[in-house]
Amino acid sequence: MTLSVLRRYGTRRAVLAGFLPLLVLAVAGCSSSRGASVSIDPNIFLNAIIHPDGPIINGLYLTIFVSIIAQLIGVTLGIFAALGKMAKFPLFRIIANLYIWFFRGTPLLVQLAFLFYGIQSAHLLAWPTIELFGFTVTQEVLAGTIILGVNEGAYMAEIVRAGILSIDPGQNEAAKSLGMNYAQTMRRIVLPQAARVIMPPLGNEFNNMLKNTSLLMVLGTYELYNTFASKAGLAYQWFEFMGACCVWYLILTTIWGFAQAWIERRFSKGTTSSSGGPSWRDRIFGGRRSDAGEEIAVLGGH
């Protein structure tokens, strides 16, 4: 009988159909067994969105600032790592491969702890606090941004490499036959064309980056998540504050979705399909899960 149900509705639907009622029962059971009624204060939730206070605004700025700088570092490193991976000299290839292997093969959270706390506790390096354009960048923010960027570079390397490989070899030959050297060919001919191929996955990467900045809370920075987490912990209003936190992240990623659609249209000049990348709807509701999801859940439980 089970088998026929599976065959008829498909495994996923059957599992969902069985699982959802169980979940509802479990939640209901929990609340009733403790004898407490549901307690949600909508004002706290709405205030954190409509009238964000100083710390929230600062957290928002920090998240945006860190994301952009880290992504820029990631793209730059990614280009060099991609070129290194395709280089003639074996040494460049080895360095690029080791870099990609390590940063893609270990969790971002562990990298943050290792390269911040680890390096400092072993007295290998003391991350400095610096002044940048009149802002004080604390050592935690500096380290966090750089580590996020270096991690991102390893992912960008593969994306950039795919972009470069997608360009017709005839482009390279045409540039060479005009006397252009490797650097000129890459900078003027190949990379600008590869950029169009790179943009859609780069957009996904930045979407992930906006969310992955929340991991910086292990360094004690007050970016968006940590700001809300501390408020939630103090007031024991996790539902309201985390709900508002979600809304803020959604605002950021949604704005980015529009920005990306616009950028992709600009990059599609000189190509046959003027419509450019996917629709805004796909851009915003599509995308992939943050691989930091589980790690944060564990941390939040402490």
Contact in structure between 149 and 142 (CB atoms under 8 Å): no
Instruction: Show contacts with other proteins in window 71-100 (CB under 8 A).
Output: none
Q: Is 192 in the site for other proteins (CB under 8 A)?
A: yes
113 or 180: whose CB is closer to other proteins? 180
Contact in structure between 55 and 229 (CB atoms under 8 Å): no
Radius of gyration (C-alpha) of the chain in whole angstroms? 23
Q: Is 43 in the site for other proteins (CB under 8 A)?
A: no
Q: Is 54 in the site for other proteins (CB under 8 A)?
A: no
Contact in structure between 103 and 154 (CB atoms under 8 Å): yes
Distance CA(284)–CA(93), nearest Å, equals 36
**Site pattern 111..150 for other proteins (x: CB under 8 A):** ----------------------------------------
Distance CA(46)–CA(43), nearest Å, equals 5
Question: Which residues on neighbouring strands pair with residue 137, listed in sequence order?
Answer: 130
Q: Which stretch binds other proteins (CB under 8 A): 137-145, 180-188, 245-253, 290-298?
A: 180-188
Q: Which of 65, 182, 238, 239 binds other proteins (CB under 8 A)?
A: 182
Measuring CA to CA, which residue among 291, 287, 290 is closest to residue 277? 287
The total of other beta-carbon atoms located within 10 Å of residue 137's CB is 18
Least Å from the CB of residue 176 to other proteins: 6
Instruction: Show contacts with other proteins in window 212-271 (CB under 8 A).
Output: 269-271
* Site of interaction with other proteins (CB under 8 A): 168, 170-171, 173-182, 184, 188-189, 192-193, 196, 269-272
